[in-house]
């Protein structure tokens, strides 16, 4: 349900699903608690602190899109996802309960996109699976021949346990 706010001339509301039951084949269903607050303005849409929570995982998203003729998009994401929980519900071919295997994924992202200027700016992108990390930052601007820099550190011993791969 959206309510019109006369003072700020926008619509405000929230979509809540509690729980959203995700089921895959005969696996245990994953109960996700969804809260999606939204503000719709004349030329913008904003989502502030949307959450997706399970018993062991959490995802938090803040995003906006404005200037619909030449969209400018800003997004921030923080997530901690339990690998045993995902494996149990989604039958992923991973083994997060193996000795020495990582049991969670954490992610942080902050990025902007400007269609008019064709620029993508990655303030931060960080993903960690145990001691394995992937980081990225920088600006993609064709007029300046710029780039996004990536840095990865692979903990192959942990990843091999998680994926049940032997050398």
- The segments of the chain whose pLDDT lies below 70 read 167
The pTM of the full predicted model, rounded to 2 decimals, is 0.91
As a whole number of angstroms, the distance between CA 143 and CA 148 comes to 14
The pLDDT, as a whole number, for residue 166 is 82
The pLDDT, as a whole number, for residue 1 is 76
């Amino acid at each position: 349900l959206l309510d019109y706010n006369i003072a700020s001339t926008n619509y405000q509301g929230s979509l809540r699903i509690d729980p959203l039951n995700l089921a895959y084949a005969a696996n245990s269903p994953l109960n996700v608690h969804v809260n999606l607050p939204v503000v719709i303005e004349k030329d913008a849409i904003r989502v502030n602190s949307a959450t997706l929570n399970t018993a062991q995982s959490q995802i938090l998203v803040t995003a906006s899109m404005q200037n619909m003729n030449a969209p400018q998009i800003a997004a921030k994401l923080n997530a901690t996802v339990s690998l045993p929980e995902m494996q149990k519900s989604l039958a992923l071919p991973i083994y997060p309960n193996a000795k020495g295997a990582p049991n969670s994924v954490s992610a942080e992202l902050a990025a902007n996109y400007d269609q008019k200027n064709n620029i993508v700016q990655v303030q931060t992108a960080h993903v960690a699976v145990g001691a394995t990390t992937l980081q990225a930052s920088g600006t993609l601007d064709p007029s300046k021949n710029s780039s996004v820099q990536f840095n990865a550190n692979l903990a192959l011993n942990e990843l091999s346990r998680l994926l049940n791969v032997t050398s």
